[in-house]
Amino acid sequence: MRLPIYLDNNSTTPLDPRVLEAMMPFLTEKFGNAASRSHAFGWETEEAVEKSRASIAKLIGANLKEIVFTSGATESINIALKGAAEMYSEKGNHIITAATEHKATLDSAKYLEKHGCTVTYLPVDKFGAVSPEQVKAAITDKTILISLMHANNEIGTIHPIEEIGKVAKEAGILFHVDAAQTAGKIPIDVEKMGIDILSISAHKMYGPKGVGGLYVRRTNPRVRLSPVVHGGGHERGFRSGTLNVAGIVGFGKAAELCSQEMAQEAVRVSALRDKLKNALFSQLDELFLNGDPIKRLPNNLNISFAFVEGEALMMGLKEVAVSSGSACTSASLEPSYVLKAMGVGEELAHTSIRFGLGRFTTAEEIDFVIEKVVGVVKKLRDMSPLYEMAKEGIDLKSVQWTTH
């Protein structure tokens, strides 16, 4: 077993060696520009790009003509929101999203608010989910887009996308889904789920960083989006710029592997996750699970360890790479906005740790992590007067704290 152990797969995943192998020729001898139509160097890379497009389309039940390559889910989400807002500005200016979305969505929405859009940020329930009824109630005659994540990157909660898709269809409103956490992890079918636009990222599914995809429905309805990046009209005008061929080939290989292995992998990884969860909950008290107990990503576990500072816990867990709060906001000391939106108090939010398991996580690693976490939490609590008071039955809320 190699240390440190990587348990931050909701942040990024390692490249699968089979993906690297598929990419290598395109980083060396096969260097042609996929847009070069006049010679064999271009033809061979174009063919490889189209093969990848087909693999990605297959993973989400789409047609290959509906896949646009981008630099990642952040860019895809920007195109979905800004592109729809501009293209459909005659129809309306209202967008519906949720308070717990990824910053790529929230910051794009904020930008659009400065440019004439109105945005509804739906609140979430205690498990971090929005309901189809909430979405329906938020629709106005000016609504042009509903944008929600399939599963949350911090707490793993999976949204009822198919039901929300039905609401969107009935109202004739475009539905964009941020599937960065779910593509290649759990099944996605854009037809069955009524999705019109979908954002995905290669590096969350054992592919390379800096490449992603945007699904744009071509029939029933035919979705149009104004481009964000202008240039040579690549990718049917949705996203100009010379294609990252090696990255796209890796993305395609990653999608192919996920299509083949996703079902068994979800069973194996969720069993390890459940083992970790059950062991921690049986050996420690005052733990709180964040996110939905059932409707959650197979690889995600998020726990608040009351009376333990999340940062101190992470310091004690040097051999285990996890994140406290969101990976994307861990540079700040603000508690996670996702936990806040779910109604988790500031105290408990600060004690939260996200464990993100993955394809390469082993049973041996999980055993090590259980032993480490239990040991560190017990040690920190032994030094905590608050924990001691709570155990003596003192209601901490009744204590009169003096400040200087």
Q: Of residues 32, 72, 227, 356, which one binds ligand PLP by CB under 6 A? A: 72
Query: How far is Cα 198 from Cα 60, in angstroms, rounded to an integer?
Result: 9
Task: Report the alpha-carbon distance of residue 380 to residue 30 in Å, rounded.
Answer: 55
Q: 280 phi and psi, to 5 degrees?
A: -65, -45
- Helix runs in 114-244, H state only: 132-138, 161-171
Out of 171, 289, 328, 390, which one is annotated catalytic?
A: 328
**Identified binder of ligand PLP from the candidate list 94, 159, 185, 204, rule CB under 6 A:** 204
How far apart, in Å, do the first and last CA atoms of the chain sit? Answer: 49
Q: Which of 45, 52, 55, 74 binds ligand PLP (CB under 6 A)?
A: 74
The residue whose Cβ lies closest to ligand PLP is 72
Residue 245 vs 338, nearer CB to ligand PLP: 338
Would you say 48 or 180 has its CB closer to ligand PLP? 180
CB contact burial 125-159 (16+ within 10 A = b; e otherwise)? eebbbbbbebbbebbeeebbbbbbbbbbbbbbbbb
CB nearer to ligand PLP: pick between 326 and 361: 326
Task: Please state, in angstroms and rounded to a whole number, the distance separating the CA atoms of residues 367 and 307.
Answer: 24
Q: Which of 78, 93, 201, 324 binds ligand PLP (CB under 6 A)?
A: 201
- Interface mask (CB under 6 A) for ligand PLP, residues 298-337, using x and -? ----------------------------------------
Task: Indicate the DSSP class of residue 335.
Answer: P
Q: Which amino acid is at 138?
A: A
Task: Count residues binding ligand PLP (CB under 6 A).
Answer: 14
Q: Please list, in sequence order, all residues whose beta carbon lies within 8 angstroms of the beta carbon of residue 70, skipping any fewer than 6 positions away.
A: 76, 79, 211, 212, 213, 214, 239
- Could you confirm whether 328 is annotated as catalytic? yes
By beta-carbon proximity to ligand PLP, the closer residue of 204 and 296 is 204
Binding mask 91-130 for ligand PLP (x = CB under 6 A): -----------x-x--------------------------
Residue closer to ligand PLP, measured from CB, 104 or 112: 104
Tokens of 223: 């979705």
Distance in Å, CB of 13 to ligand PLP, minimum: 10
Bridge partners of residue 177, in order along the sequence: 148, 198
Closer Cβ to ligand PLP, 203 or 381, answer by number = 203
Footprint of ligand PLP on residues 142-181 (CB under 6 A)? 149, 153, 178, 180-181
Among residues 360, 302, 345, 296, the alpha carbon closest in space to that of 327 is found at 302
277 contributes a contact to ligand PLP by CB under 6 A: no
Residues 6+ apart with CB under 8 A from 113: 119
Provide the token pair at 151.
């599963």
Closest distance to ligand PLP from the beta carbon of 282 (Å): 30
Residue type, 194: G
Query: Minimum distance from CB of 199 to ligand PLP (Å)?
Result: 7
Min dist CB 198 to ligand PLP, Å, is 12
Catalytic residue set: 328
Residues binding ligand PLP (CB under 6 A): 72-74, 102, 104, 149, 153, 178, 180-181, 201, 203-204, 212
